[in-house]
Structure formats: structure tokens, C-alpha cells
Structure 1
Amino acid sequence: MLGAASAITLSAFGCGSSTPKNTLDDGGTASDGNDGGTSTTTDPTSGTGDSGTGDSGTGDSGTPCKGLQCQQVTCGGGGDTTVTGTVFTPSGTIPIYNAIVYVPNADPVPLTKGATCDRCGAVTGEPVVTALSAANGQFILKNVPAGKNIPLVIQVGKWRRQVTIPEVTACSETKLADPELTRLPKNQSEGSMPQIALTTGACDKLGCMLPKIGIDASEFGVESDGTAKAVHVYKGADNGGPTAASQASAFWSDATKMMKYDMILLSCECTESLNNKGGADGPAFTAMADYLKAGGRIFTTDFMYAWYRYSGDPDLRSATDIRGGAPQAGSPMTVNASFPKGQALSDWLSVVIPGSAGTASAEVVFGNIKSVDETKTQLWATSGAMNRLPEGPRIFSANLPVGVSADKQCGKAVHIDAHVNSGLLDAVDKDYPASCKDVMKPSENLLAFFFFDLASCIQDDGEPPTPPPVK
């Protein structure tokens, strides 16, 4: 905690208007609880502050305050009761952009596993104050209820963790400096996690990012483990992964199976591998399109452009012009900072990878994508010409269904036209995740940014994110 706090006396009358109020020694009065942002949540650790469990009197506007609202105070001299900190990945090492942070006034509603239409703006837990984390992961909560054991929720889509702040002192800054307090959950006993499917591929070990960002080894399993494990591995064309893993060919040809997952990471198989997708007109491409339109999220690299080139959704298929074949392109990629999230990516990279200066690196960058329809997609990065290959798009995303207004979109796809991890020290094999032995690569940091952005609620990426309103 920084700064000297004013003494506070909680009146027996609560948040009265003409009766005695929560009074500071500088003459301030309790807030009516309507200041702040908003949020969303769910977790095993719920509750309200020590003296915030019931209704008490009325606020300055004459409306009754409830629970922790009655512990909000008005500070003299333009002061405020704030809580600051940085949201991190489960490892406590990588900052997270655009996380929702809030103080709940009730138990958040449990989150449902599997693909759902999760648009930004929905909230549970009756947030008293809310904020979003900036590109450097930092957040500032204002007008926070003062007192002991104040609950705090951190949420990114279906990632959610609730912790307790030991004490918030009125009219001063409470700084949460310990990453252990402001990181996302490592396992499902600490909070909520999305259900994730990982398909293997010999040319890109996407799955090795997951243990590196801090997901516990206990959370990795296979389809038969059900929701007891947050990450399920499926065998792609390389037949890699745990011995008990199911085949990806049966998985991605069945929309019902895919709907059990919030997001799917599709590792590059070194070719389009149409044989394990039923051919160019195979059932896998129709099932994947249905999954995306219903709220599913996918991440692809390199040859997994096949999911767009042959999509069963003609609108998604027409959103890109694909040359294919994995021709090598210029590197590094230049981040498109012309829209708010693109600027945030550029700023985030400069924090996580000092000296990146608006560029994004990958092990090998490809030129599979000739162009994208920017009325249907969001262009995130481009790179220059190489070997007579012209400059072109290298990272794009699409909200699904494409071509409709943001309030009707539910799913999302992200493609990085590159290899994220093709190193020799990492493997997604029968010993996974113990087989991931290398350090975190710059390209895996890039993947981590998009991994959490993919997990977050759906919004128009061309607009600045805003916190949901308080209840």
C-alpha cells in the first residue's frame, strides 16, 4: 500500500443520506457505488468483504447501497481509493492485455465448458468496480471498497480466478506487487479454465507453449479424460502425442465433438493433409465452419490455412486469397498499428521482447496468403518481399460468421503464416508435456498474445476495448 490513508469510521447507520454516513476524517462521505467500469467471472473462491455482506441504508443519490458498495468512500481533495497491479499468465511471468479485473458484490456464475456465443458486455458477480489491463498488463481500479478481505476477480474469457486482497486502505493506492496474486489459474482447482483441444503436427509444436505459460502438467490429457483435464491432445497427420490420444481425423469431422471445446489449436502438418480431412470437400471443413459460427475459436499456422481455403463456409472461404505451398516470405513481420488492438500488440511486444519496435518475429515466415478481404477479416501484420514473393499479409483474424455486424458474431479464427516452434528441443509426443524442454521463444510469446486474445470475449477488433458496466 502506498500513501497515507485517512482514518475511516463506519457509522452504525450505514450509507445514509440524511443520517450519519461512512465518514472520513476529511469530511468525505461514502460513494453511491456507481463509479467504475465492469466485468465478468466465476471461481471456487468467492465472497464479499468482511463488512460487505448485506444492504445498508442509501447512497448519496438516495438509492440503497448493497454489500461492498457500502464500503466505497468519497475522498477529500480529489483523492481516490485505488488498487493497481499487473495481470500475468499462469506462470506469473508474461503480462496479459485486455483482461477484465473487478471487485464482485456476489458470487460469479459458474462458466460453461465448450463453445458458446461469448460477446463482450456480459457480466456476473454484480461488479462494484471494473477495469481492463493495458498493453503492459497493468490495471487501475478506482473507487474500490475499503476494508479487509476484499475479493478481486481476474478474467479473460473463460479463464477466471478470484483472490482476496488482505486490506484496501481508504483514499490511498493499494499496490498488488506479487504476481502470484494477479496471475491467471494454473489449474482448475485455482479457478476456471477453458476446455482446449490441441491437434499435433510435425512442423509446428504449438502445444509446447501451453506448459511454458504456466499450465500445470496435471491439466494435460486426452479426450477420454473429459473435463477433468483442461487440455486434450489429438493425433494429427504425424500421429504424435500421448499413446491414448484420439485421432484428429475423427475429431474435426464431428462438430458435436468440437463443440465440447472452447478453443482448438491446429498444429501445422507440413502439408495440407487433405486425406485426414476427407478431401477438399470433406466433412471436416463443414464441421469446422459450423463450430466457428457457433462460437468456437481456432488458431492455425502455415499449412493449416487449409481450414480457410477449403472452408465449408463460402463467406469465410472468400475472405482470403490463398496461394499455398509454404513459400518463404520476408521476416520479421511488421505489426499493423492502425487499429487499437494492433497498437496494443506493438506496445505489448516492446514490453515482452524489448527492442522489437513494432515488429513480430517467428522462426520462419511464409507467404501462403496473397490477400485478405479487410471487410471480413482483421489484418494484424505484414512482411516484405522475398524470392520474388511480394509483400503481403502474415497474420489475420476473422470473427464468425464473417460479414455480419459484431453483435451477431460468436466465433473467431486466428492465422499466423509462420512456424512458431519447429525446434529440436521441444516435442509433443508420448511424454508431453514433459517433452517440452526448450525456453520460451519470441515466436511463442507472439502466440501467447493471440492465445489469450482468442480466448477473450468477442468484440469488434477495430474498436477500443471497453470494460463492461457495473451492476
Structure 2
Amino acid sequence: MDCTAQNRSPTTISGAVYAPNGTLPLFGVTVYVPIHDPGPLPAGVQCDRCVTSLPGGAYAQALTDEAGHFTLYDVPAADNVPLVIQVGKWRRQLVVPSVAACQNTALAAASTTLPRDHTQGDMPQIAITTGDADALDCLVRKLGIADAEITTDKQGGKVHLYNGNGANQFATSFGGGTGSFSNATTLWGDVDKLSGYDIAVFSCEGGQHPETKPQSAMQAVHDYAGRGGRVFMSHWHNIWIGGEKTKPSHGLADWESIATFDFNAAQNETTQLTFVDETAPKGASFATWLQNVGASPIRDQLQINDPRYTCQSVTAGKAERWVYVDPTQSTPLGKTGVQDMLFTTPQDQTPDNRCGKVVFSDMHVSADSSSKSGTPYPGGCSSQPLSAQEKALAFIFFDIASCVGILQ
């Protein structure tokens, strides 16, 4: 029906997309009405570059805004209209029972939330190494991923925990995995093992621990990212980018040129006022989103706990600075640093020919949780709501799953 010819409103579908916890709205998620069945998602790491077409084609498509909202225009007026909600390999498919012509069909949040488990839709395969200085393994629970999906690599979950030097086994009462975690070296030391995952997350271990990261492992992580892997690492996992602090030759030459590190910088503050860099491609949207979710009462400002200052700056044209410390404005004054940065890989390719993403966070993300070898998982995980910096990293966690290329 031609609604415009009848001087009526267009046929639309609207709603908001949320993280699996059902409360955190997400920016930049694709929502579309497919023409054909989009088919299954491929397993394992993929070179996911941004393209103009969507699996199955699209009658209508939209991206969620900084409040998670979307509106699809000129949707077919029919019964049983299929809908796809997707960012990377996070995908939920549903059927809208009826779409009336020349009016809006509003969807409930329960139907537009990303999957908590594999029964609700597609999820990326995620590996997380534990660390006794930053409990990134706890963040996924706060984001709403079901305990049943958190297992060892020998079990069937979508999130596999590996022992860095934090938690190394599941509590007997846990509703997901059982037994001990495989050692992290079996993950990052094998590019083929890594390539079974879409996202690899490395939690800070309180030191670089180069003895567990030989040059062969450095190369494996480098090559995994080059194949299209997504890597998120915190604080002392700076070794992968900046090299070993007392032995620069133990590193990756092309990654070492991406940022400047001061491994001897004092790490002595408990809180820090930081700033969002709106010159980054998604910086303005990130700043708006942080305000919308209550993480940033004043635009561009983010108060964080457990700041760290090893990353001093990023090289223009090689990486994006997302959150930083300004020595003249960031109280306490006098500190310099990049708290969050992102780069795409392989670095020797033009941006439109790259496949992977690497995010480095100098701040400790999960400041109110802990991951210790003597405490079975999830014994150290906080049940408190997401903190401001956890919300900031949640934005990056879902964004890292999105496509790579000139559209970024």
C-alpha cells in the first residue's frame, strides 16, 4: 500500500535493542526485515569487513541510535514479518505476528534483547583468560550472559574461561561449567585454537608475565587478529602491543609502533577523571550514549576507579583514542595516559582491507569484582549494577563485534 499517496503515515516497526541483561541499550546494532532466510552464521574467526548488503537482503534496515532505538520505514504490511537484530555474531531472529499498513508497530523490549543463551539466538564464541588484577570474567555475567553458557573449553558453552592467574575452577554450585579451567597458554599459544573464537578477552594479571607469553604466542595473537579475531586486553596485557618492558625485542614490531608506553609510570591513583575523545570515528556517539546510560553526568567526562597509566599516547592514523587522561584537566592533575584505545588489523593493509580489531584498556574494568586462584568462579563476582567504567567497556565489548572497514 502506498501510504504517502493516501497522505498517511508510513508503515514502520520500532523498538529498542538491549544487551542480554535486558536493561542496557546498545548503539550501532543492525535491525532489518530480510527478503530471504539469512541462513546460518559461519563458525570460527572470519574476516568481517563492512559491506553494503545484509545476509538474505533487506526490505528495510536501520541502525540503533545512542538510546538503542530504531525505526524501520516502508516495512511490508503483512502477517508474520521476519526481523533480524544483529551486531557481529550476536543475532536474534523473530517474527512480528502482524504489521498493519500506514502505522507503527512497536516491539516490546523482551523481543529485541540480544540472546542470553544459544536457545534465544546466535552468540559469538568467546574466550576469556582470568587475571588476579581485573575480573573481566565477571563482566559477562553483569551483561546478562546466562551462567549455562559459561564453561571450560571442553564443555559446550559460548563463553570459555581459561586460567591466567585468577580463578582457575568453577564452584560446585555454579549453574554452568564444572571443574578446572585450561591454562591460558594453551589458548594464546596456538593460532588455530584462537581461531575457534570470535572474541578473545585477556584479563590483567598484575604484571606482564613474559614467561607465559613467548614470541611464538605473541605471533599467534598477532596472526589471530589479522585473520579477523577480536581481542580485548586490560592493563599489563600491554605486552602484546608494547612488548616486554625490559626486552623490546620480545614483541611485535608493527604493533609496537601503534602506541607509546611508559612501563615505569606510577600506577598510584585509585580514581581519575577521564575524557572521551570525540574525534574518534564513534567518539561523539560514545559520549552521547554514556550520558544516556547514566555513566557520564557531564558530557565527555568519565570518572573511573583503578586508572593505570602505562599507555601514554597512540600514533595518529594507526589507532583510535577513546578515553584519555588530560594532565591539565583530569583530576588528580598531572597524569597522562590513554585509558581505552582501538586499532584494526593487519596493520600493513589499508583500513578497508583489514579484518580484526584489538582494544586495549589501561584501566581495570571490573573494579568491584575479583578473580583469585583460591576462590572458585564466580565467588569473586560482584552482584552490584554496572559501574560507569563497566558501562563504557560494555559499549566497546559489543562494538568490537561489529564489522571492520572504511565504514568504521
Q: TM-score, normalised by structure 1?
A: 0.77
Asked whether 1:408 is paired with 2:341, we answer no
Asked whether 1:309 is paired with 2:242, we answer yes
Q: Which residue of 2 aligns with 1:370?
A: 312
Deviation at 1:314, TM superposition (A): 1.8
Alignment counterpart, residue 334 of structure 1, candidates 275, 284, 287? 275
Summarize the Cα distance change of 1:206–1:250 in structure 2 as closer, same or farther, 3 Å threshold. same
1:262-277 superposed matches below 5 A: 262-277=198-213
Corresponding letter in the other structure for 1:255: V
**Contact 1:426 1:438 survives alignment (8 Å):** no
Alignment counterpart, residue 438 of structure 1, candidates 383, 387, 390? 383
Deviation at 1:158, TM superposition (A): 0.3
Deviation at 1:312, TM superposition (A): 5.0
Summarize the Cα distance change of 1:318–1:363 in structure 2 as closer, same or farther, 3 Å threshold. same
Q: TM-score, normalised by structure 2?
A: 0.89
**Contact 2:91 2:122 survives alignment (8 Å):** yes
Secondary structure of the structure 2 residue equivalent to 1:110: coil
Runs of 4+ in structure 1 deviating by more than 4 angstroms, as ranges, are 386-390, 424-431
State the alpha-carbon separation in 2 of the partners of residues 78 and 405 from structure 1: 47
* Further displaced range: 377-386 or 167-176: 377-386
Summarize the Cα distance change of 1:429–1:345 in structure 2 as closer, same or farther, 3 Å threshold. farther
Deviation at 1:172, TM superposition (A): 1.2
Q: Which residue of 2 aligns with 1:350?
A: 291
Cα-Cα RMSD: 2.2
State the alpha-carbon separation in 1 of the partners of residues 209 and 58 from structure 2: 47
Q: Which residue of 1 aligns with 2:221?
A: 288
Summarize the Cα distance change of 1:424–1:263 in structure 2 as closer, same or farther, 3 Å threshold. closer
* Further displaced range: 264-273 or 365-374: 365-374
Alignment counterpart, residue 157 of structure 2, candidates 213, 229, 244? 229
Deviation at 1:188, TM superposition (A): 0.8
Q: Which residue of 1 aligns with 2:23?
A: 93
**Contact 1:331 1:384 survives alignment (8 Å):** no
Alignment counterpart, residue 180 of structure 2, candidates 222, 226, 244? 244
1:80-126 alpha-carbon deviations (Å, 9 max, x no partner): 11111111001110001000000012111211222110011252122
Query: If you compute each CA radius of gyration, which structure gives the higher value, 1 or 2?
Result: 1
State the alpha-carbon separation in 2 of the partners of residues 428 and 206 from structure 1: 14
State the alpha-carbon separation in 2 of the partners of residues 340 and 173 from structure 1: 32
Corresponding letter in the other structure for 1:331: Q
Asked whether 1:299 is paired with 2:235, we answer no
Gaps of 5+ in 2: 171-178, 244-249
Deviation at 1:140, TM superposition (A): 1.1
**Contact 1:205 1:428 survives alignment (8 Å):** no
Q: Which residue of 2 aligns with 1:80?
A: 10
Alignment counterpart, residue 156 of structure 1, candidates 83, 87, 98? 87
Summarize the Cα distance change of 1:426–1:309 in structure 2 as closer, same or farther, 3 Å threshold. closer
Alignment counterpart, residue 34 of structure 2, candidates 57, 79, 104? 104
**Contact 1:349 1:356 survives alignment (8 Å):** no
State the alpha-carbon separation in 2 of the partners of residues 427 and 180 from structure 1: 35
Deviation at 1:148, TM superposition (A): 1.8
**Contact 1:237 1:273 survives alignment (8 Å):** no
Deviation at 1:251, TM superposition (A): 1.6
Deviation at 1:434, TM superposition (A): 6.4
Q: Which residue of 2 aligns with 1:126?
A: 57
State the alpha-carbon separation in 2 of the partners of residues 327 and 262 from structure 1: 34
Corresponding letter in the other structure for 1:264: A
Deviation at 1:432, TM superposition (A): 2.9
Corresponding letter in the other structure for 1:392: G
Deviation at 1:267, TM superposition (A): 0.2
Q: Sequence identity, in percent?
A: 34
State the alpha-carbon separation in 1 of the partners of residues 387 and 32 from structure 2: 32
**Contact 1:375 1:403 survives alignment (8 Å):** no
**Contact 1:428 1:436 survives alignment (8 Å):** no
Alignment counterpart, residue 191 of structure 2, candidates 252, 255, 260? 255
1:112-147 alpha-carbon deviations (Å, 9 max, x no partner): 222110011252122111000011111111001112
* Further displaced range: 74-83 or 198-207: 74-83
Corresponding letter in the other structure for 1:355: P
1:395-454 alpha-carbon deviations (Å, 9 max, x no partner): 110000125322210010011210111335777876434652421222211111110001
State the alpha-carbon separation in 1 of the partners of residues 193 and 54 from structure 2: 28
Secondary structure of the structure 2 residue equivalent to 1:455: coil
State the alpha-carbon separation in 2 of the partners of residues 254 and 190 from structure 1: 31
Q: Which residue of 1 aligns with 2:262?
A: 323
Deviation at 1:340, TM superposition (A): 4.0
Summarize the Cα distance change of 1:173–1:75 in structure 2 as closer, same or farther, 3 Å threshold. farther
Secondary structure of the structure 2 residue equivalent to 1:331: strand
Q: Which residue of 2 aligns with 1:207?
A: 137
State the alpha-carbon separation in 2 of the partners of residues 267 and 325 from structure 1: 20
State the alpha-carbon separation in 2 of the partners of residues 388 and 146 from structure 1: 58
Summarize the Cα distance change of 1:255–1:430 in structure 2 as closer, same or farther, 3 Å threshold. farther
Gaps of 5+ in 1: 1-21, 23-27, 29-72, 466-471
Deviation at 1:256, TM superposition (A): 0.8
Summarize the Cα distance change of 1:435–1:392 in structure 2 as closer, same or farther, 3 Å threshold. closer
Corresponding letter in the other structure for 2:297: G
Alignment counterpart, residue 145 of structure 1, candidates 66, 69, 76? 76
**Contact 2:132 2:370 survives alignment (8 Å):** no
